[in-house]
Structure 1
Amino acid sequence: MLISIIIFIVVLVAAYFLFVGFYPTFGGDVSKERQAEFTKSTQFIKGKFENTKPVNMSQSFSETLNMAKKFFFTNVKNGRPKNDLSVKKIDSLNIVNYADSTRFIWFGHSSFLLQINQKNILIDPMFSNVPAPHSMLGGKRFSTELPIEVQKLPKIDAVIISHDHYDHLDYESISILKEKVDTFYTPLGVGVHLEAWGVQKERIIELDWWQETTFYDLKFVCTPAIHFSGRKFSNGQSTLWSSWIIQSKSENIFFSGDSGYGSHFKEIGEKYGPFDFAMMECGQYNEMWPEIHMFPEETAQAGVDVRAKKVMPIHWGAFKLALHSWTDPIERITKKANELNLPLITPKIGEPFLLNENKIDSDNWWK
């Protein structure tokens, strides 16, 4: 029996290393030469990126097993919609011919098409059906369709990526998009995955926190977040995570990426606010990981902290990645936002909406 158990463990370990070594979805690895460049960053300490306020990311084997057991075997009431969510469809010509004021199209979770100053910008484009290295390793998207098929998207001027987790950086999506995209913008190190997937290094711009860059008549700012990174057991915290600011001459937009609640939101608001619009993480939270994802009440407060005129809750409506009901995020943030007099934008997936619209959608489509 002991020999059989040992053989089984050896086979599992060998299978894992073969899977990780040859399956492309895991991306690339940061080289020693690249790490040497990261030493200029105050966030890069002893070979890894760290949050400004230390977050304990180390878990014992038993803690990891306990978390996995709860996630895979807990029956969550209303964890997924009873029926597939319907999405608003949009065609390629509508996108190509659009030349009006700044507008957004939400693809669910944290993925957006932003059309601003005659530029098409994708934010965290995760268009696959499952946020995992293989389709058998995760739950399916809540909707069977996207607002537009990825193959039908027109030329994309820029892609902005917040970090390298599977629900934000997707191999299949990048593989289809890469020839359509002019430039990719990422936090430090994330470009190593893009390079592994065939994106030329010259088309990738990596930034540290508080670094700015110009893109035609727009400004992109890489700003802090409280989170972590890694696509496999061996490369945790090897790349940086971030929030982002997108500015035109007349508009100021904030995208939170994934983040726990912290003082960085107020600091961002003081340095770059007020914001006309903020896309704020609101979903996939749990008391087992309170430091790296915000609870909805914290999301609303973070919107106040960054001095946002309007907030849209994101990181929900597409995947089950936690143990709350699928509508819990939007129900709780709606209640808290009302208490704080914080205007919310809650469009349907695929429904285009304009930045300068004063109408606040309140039809509670998720009900």
Structure 2
Amino acid sequence: MDMSLKSIISMLRDQLKPVPNRKPSKAIPYLKLALADQPQPEGIQVTWFGHSAFLLEIEGKRLLFDPMFGDAPSPPPGSYFTGKRFSGGLPLAAADFPAIDAVIQSHDHFDHLHEGTVRKLKDKAGRFIVPLGVGKRLRKWGVDPAKIAELDWGDELHLAGLTLACMPARHFSGRGLFDRNSTLWCSWAVLGKKSRAFFSGDGGYGPHFKEIGAKYGPFDVTLMECGQYDERWAAIHMMPEETVQAHLDVQGDLLIPVHWGAFMLAYHAWTDPVERAVKAAQAKGVRIATPQIGETVSVGRDVDHPAAPWWRD
């Protein structure tokens, strides 16, 4: 992530010049979500909240990943440049969630770990499962230390019939000027008795995806980072074509691109990630789902998955 002066100057220049379609011309649609007290007893369902926040219902358990439900992906003054959430609201407010089995974080960046959301979920979640060092953030915000589990790469945690494996990612961490890489970042493999899911977290493309696939694949569904990329930071964010290749590397069946559709963090058009991912998936024969925010995807070979290009409207 060390950048030359030339790269920094070019980024400042890009920040000031207008980029066509960098954000939607109006608030993008979302579907309201009503959760029953109990999740589906079998199989997998995924509900995307925009960016990398999603609810994974797997074999009767509810896992909420990277629940950043705030309006902006960074505090002031950064929020003046990133703007606010593209959608006019969220499918379900943090305060309205029923009990969930666990909140799971990939790393501590502001666009993934949100203090206000954590405070509203701290009494609803049975566990908070995070990479090493992130627990100190949660304890500061009032989460019961007994609920927090911190994992290193390669560690596994057993949760009510599921196995959660903390796996590598090529990224970085930190929430301030002086705490860079003071906590760990990761991807997650979720293994049930009959179902398997993978979440890439944030990170650049690399050989770790094939290693994860060899150890834990195949996966019924992958949620892969797809957005906020740029050639200048390609080491820590994948291009959409790499998103599709990473899905193949981990031996995924259905691909759901995430890390797009919520915030203006890079300089590409807001629809560029999904357009390029769909094109790459079609070229490689990959099954890809493109749900609206709040739309639940039922995962399985015998069920239809949302594929309409809703963002073009």
TM-score (norm 1): 0.81
Any runs of at least 4 consecutive aligned residues in structure 1 with deviations exceeding 3 A, and if so which?
A: 62-65, 97-101, 134-138
CA drift of 1:287 comes to: 1.1
Query: Which of the pair is proportionally richer in strand?
Result: 2
Question: Radius of gyration: which is bigger?
Answer: 1
Could you tell me how far apart the structure 2 residues matched to 1:264 and 1:167 are? 24
Q: 1:171 aligns to what? A: 115
Q: 2:47 aligns to what? A: 105
Q: Which moved more, 1:225-234 or 1:175-184?
A: 175-184
Q: 2:250 aligns to what? A: 306
Q: Do structure 1's residue 69 and structure 2's residue 12 form an aligned pair? A: yes
Q: Do structure 1's residue 239 and structure 2's residue 183 form an aligned pair? A: yes
Task: Indicate conservation of the 8 Å contact 1:283/1:295, yes or no.
Answer: yes
The percentage of aligned residue pairs carrying the same residue is: 46
CA drift of 1:136 comes to: 4.7
CA drift of 1:59 comes to: 3.8
Q: 2:102 aligns to what? A: 158
SS at match of 1:329: helix
TM-score (norm 2): 0.94
| Equivalent of residue 226 in structure 1, options 170, 181, 184 | 170
Q: Any idea what the Cα deviations from partners look like across 1:306-337, whole Å, max 9, x if unmatched?
A: 11011111100111110000010011111111
> Amino acid of the residue matched to residue 231 of structure 1?
R
Q: Do structure 1's residue 211 and structure 2's residue 163 form an aligned pair? A: no
Task: Indicate conservation of the 8 Å contact 2:297/2:305, yes or no.
Answer: no
Pair 110,177 (structure 1): closer, same or farther in 2 beyond 3 Å: same
Could you tell me how far apart the structure 2 residues matched to 1:110 and 1:70 are? 27
Q: Any idea what the Cα deviations from partners look like across 1:211-259, whole Å, max 9, x if unmatched?
A: 1110011100000100000101101011110000111100010000001
Q: Any idea what the Cα deviations from partners look like across 1:332-354, whole Å, max 9, x if unmatched?
A: 11111111111101111101121
Could you tell me how far apart the structure 1 residues matched to 2:121 and 2:10 are? 35
Q: 2:201 aligns to what? A: 257
Q: Do structure 1's residue 87 and structure 2's residue 23 form an aligned pair? A: no
Q: CA RMSD in A?
A: 1.6
Structure 1 unpaired stretches of 5+: 1-56
Task: Indicate conservation of the 8 Å contact 1:71/1:322, yes or no.
Answer: no
Query: Which of the pair is proportionally richer in helix?
Result: 1
Q: 1:128 aligns to what? A: 70
Q: Do structure 1's residue 363 and structure 2's residue 308 form an aligned pair? A: yes
Structure 2 unpaired stretches of 5+: none
CA drift of 1:361 comes to: 2.4
CA drift of 1:98 comes to: 3.8
Aligned length: 308
Task: Indicate conservation of the 8 Å contact 2:299/2:305, yes or no.
Answer: no
> Amino acid of the residue matched to residue 251 of structure 2?
R
